[in-house]
Structure formats: structure tokens, C-alpha cells
Amino acid sequence: MTEAKPLNVLFLCTHNSARSILAEALLNHMGQGKFKAYSAGSSPRDHQKPNPMAIATLEKAGISTAGLSSKSWDVFASPDAPQMDLVITVCDNAAGEVCPYWPGQPATAHWGYADPSEGPGTDAEKLEAFKQTLHLIKKRLDIFTSLPLTSLGKMTLENTARELARK
């Protein structure tokens, strides 16, 4: 019996520095080979890098940050890009934008999270906001990653991902 190929999941945000980075790293950590996560932004700034507080939050949680980088979603719209099975926007700005054509027409969903880097407060308060955002993402991914891959055809995948947005 051959192993099913992992489901490719792309997390999108505007700058690809905080929420989408957290989601990519977390799903790759939790996915146990069933999922391969990526992240990108609709308009990352020039020389954008993942937010240092996102990296610190992941490291403190014991989640690998190797290979994480901020990049444009155009990277995943090219013909030689990995074909996505599911594209999830994690910020309201990216959800409202016209996305590129994704090869293979993947399922889509929106899981909105407040930007932990935008809040006022001390560095300690901002780090707490990042920790809370990671926790909220994990709650959805706990359910998502527990589903059997055989039940995740395109329509089921899309419906399941959209239903998780309500949790």
C-alpha cells in the first residue's frame, strides 16, 4: 500500500510576516507528513522577513522555523510551483483581494485572525498577542489535521475548511 501524497496547503496574508508564517510552521509541525504547508503574501514589502516576534513565538513553542521566509503569492501561481490542494487566507485584507489563478483550482477558505503585530503595548504584550494567535490557529488545525485524508476531496476539503472558520 502506498502512502497518500501530502495535501499542499497555502496560507495567505498581506505581508507574509506574521499570521501566515505562524500557520505554515504550525501545520508543517502538526501535519505528520499528511500536509505540506506554505505561506505567501499578496504584497510583501521589499526585503520583507518574517516578524521576529513570530519566529520567537514559534521557537518558544518548540516549532521549527527552518526555511521560513516572506514571499509573494506570485511564487505559487507559476506553472512550476507546487500545486495547492487548499488555499486559506488568514487576514481580512488578503481575503478581499483578487487572487492569482492557482494551478489546479484548489479549494479555498478564509480563517481571519487579528494581526498580532499591529496591537499597541509593550513587547511582552505583543509577544502574548502572537502566542494567542498561534493558539487560535492551532485550535483549528487540531481538528483539520485529525481528519482522514481520504475524506478530504476538493468539495469536502473546502466545506471542512470553511466550517472551521466558524470555530
The domains of the chain are located at 7-164
| Adjacent-strand bridge partners of 86 | 9, 107
CATH number, domain 7-164: 3.40.50.2300
CB neighbour list of residue 78: distance below 8 Å, 6 or more residues apart: none
| Adjacent-strand bridge partners of 9 | 37, 86
Tens digits of residue pLDDT in 70-117: 999 888 888 888 999 999 999 876 555 566 667 777 888 889 899 998
Tens digits of residue pLDDT in 108-140: 888 989 999 887 889 999 999 999 999 999 999
pTM for the model stands at 0.88
Sheet of strand 86-89: strand arrangement:
35-41, 7-13, 86-89, 107-110
